[in-house]
Structure 1
């Protein structure tokens, strides 16, 4: 279960959408979360990898080596 407070303007927009489309506000809130959750996870992972790289952890490879690894050799 999740409860959240939204700014009045967002709440009004969500309410109007739900009424216009005949769906619940919860439906549209859930859809928005599902659509953006993967992007947020990717951002977090990229930030962690950048921190690791800056601190000398993790592997780095040249573009040429990466092309070979994925079979994109010229």
Structure 2
């Protein structure tokens, strides 16, 4: 299922998008979707990293050294 939405773009961004679409034979919608999906992945990663850092700062989680992980996994042989 897909849903439709509308966005407003600055003139320069709109023109760049239209030029790219014309030059590549793809639709502007394709590039808008691709840009949103890629950026959304990045934003989600940043959000998760910030939450993990906050938990670490509050002492709710801890880190492990490479030596600890290697020893635990039996990789230090």
**CA pair 72-2 structure 1, distance change in 2 beyond 3 A:** farther
Which stretches in structure 1 are left out of the alignment for 5+ residues? Answer: none
Give the distance between the partners of 1:21 and 1:2, measured in 2 at CA: 24
TM-score by length of 1: 0.77
1:13-56 Cα shifts (integer Å, max 9, x gaps): 00111111222111111111222322221111111111111111
The corresponding residue for 2:68 is 65
The corresponding residue for 1:46 is 49
Where do residues 26-41 of structure 1 align in structure 2 (5 Å cutoff)?
26-41=29-44
TM-score by length of 2: 0.75
Q: Quick one: which of 16, 19, 33 aligns to 2:19?
A: 16
**CA pair 10-53 structure 1, distance change in 2 beyond 3 A:** same
Which stretches in structure 2 are left out of the alignment for 5+ residues? Answer: none
Q: Give, in angstroms, the shift of residue 4 of structure 1.
A: 1.6
